[in-house]
Amino acid sequence: MPMTVRRFVRGPKPLCVVTAYDYPSARLADQAAVDAILVGDSVGQVVQGYPDTLSVTLDEMIYHTKMVARAAQDALVIGDMPFMSYQDSTEHALVSAGRLMKEARCAAVKLEGGSRMAETVLKMVECGIPVMGHIGYTPQSVHTLGSGRAQGRDLEAARRVLTDALDLEAAGAFAVVLEVMPHRLASLITAQLHVPTIGIGAGPGCSGQVLVWHDLLAMPDLGLRHSHAFAQVGEAALAGLRAYRQAVTDGSFPTIAHSVEMADEIAVQLEQEIPGSPQA
């Protein structure tokens, strides 16, 4: 039975969240016993090859979330709401989140934005939609946030981020992602909230952490400051692909052991029927 948000709470150990976008990856994440799998709109960058997350559609998020939800047996599955599927009105947010949960069968959704989204989050939660907030650096606002990723570095900005977190919790968010902000601010926010804070580039003082699948497995290794490569999967895959290409081109793969046998009399009969073959 996949986890619901009721079990996604603060405990003695930090919560572990990873993004995944398809069935085999989600199976592995589930087997690794992560607490939650976020089907992030980062799929736009790490899978679809866009420079940002803006082009990802709700239909695409539903497509990816379906695969992950089918794979997860224990982990909480959270579907990310893509750019402009919720920002313009509460009604739109309800329809989009409803589609994600009904069609893709995730147990919760995530959206970006703090205080300005609080009213919408309240309504969603009232309708039975568990919502994870996301503040600090919010990638869907890439064109309004300016060049630096880190948020909340000066006093005014830090106060705003704290207020964002408090407003989301008051609205009923079950957790809040804190992305790329000073670790002291993230620790302070974590101390003020009761719901878990899930950090990415926000230091060790959060209630849990989230990393993007392709970053933590180095597919490829981008050397991101906020991430860490826990395995060199990209290099291993490239070595495997090169070995495969080499074996095909030098004729060492496949051998007849990779195929199936045919009875001698059938092979001989067939060869006799084919004009020009040695048996004909």
Say which of 179, 265, 271, 273 is annotated catalytic.
179
Q: ∠103-64-69 over CA atoms, to 5°?
A: 60
- Residue with smaller CB distance to ligand KIV, 42 or 120: 42
Build a one-symbol-per-residue string for 7-46: x at contacts with ligand KIV by CB under 6 A, - elsewhere. Answer: ------------x------------------x-xxx----
Contact 83, 112 (CB under 8 A): no
Give residue number: closest CB to ligand KIV. Answer: 40
Q: Is 177 in the site for ligand KIV (CB under 6 A)?
A: yes
Build a one-symbol-per-residue string for 77-106: x at contacts with ligand KIV by CB under 6 A, - elsewhere. Answer: ---x--------------------------
- Residue with smaller CB distance to ligand KIV, 19 or 190: 19
Q: Is 135 in the site for ligand KIV (CB under 6 A)?
A: no
Query: Minimal distance in Å, beta carbon 112 to ligand KIV?
Result: 7
* Separation of alpha carbons 190 and 170, rounded Å: 14
Among 62, 77, 210, 229, interactor with ligand KIV by CB under 6 A = 210
Query: Minimal distance in Å, beta carbon 248 to ligand KIV?
Result: 36
Query: CA nearest 65: which of 51, 85, 88?
Result: 85
Is 179 known to be catalytic? Answer: yes
- Residue with smaller CB distance to ligand KIV, 164 or 179: 179
Residue 193: phi, psi to the nearest 5? -95, 160
Q: Is 209 in the site for ligand KIV (CB under 6 A)?
A: no
Query: Minimal distance in Å, beta carbon 125 to ligand KIV?
Result: 19
Binding site for ligand KIV (CB under 6 A): 19, 38, 40-42, 80, 134, 177, 179, 200, 210, 212
Catalytic sites, residue numbers: 179
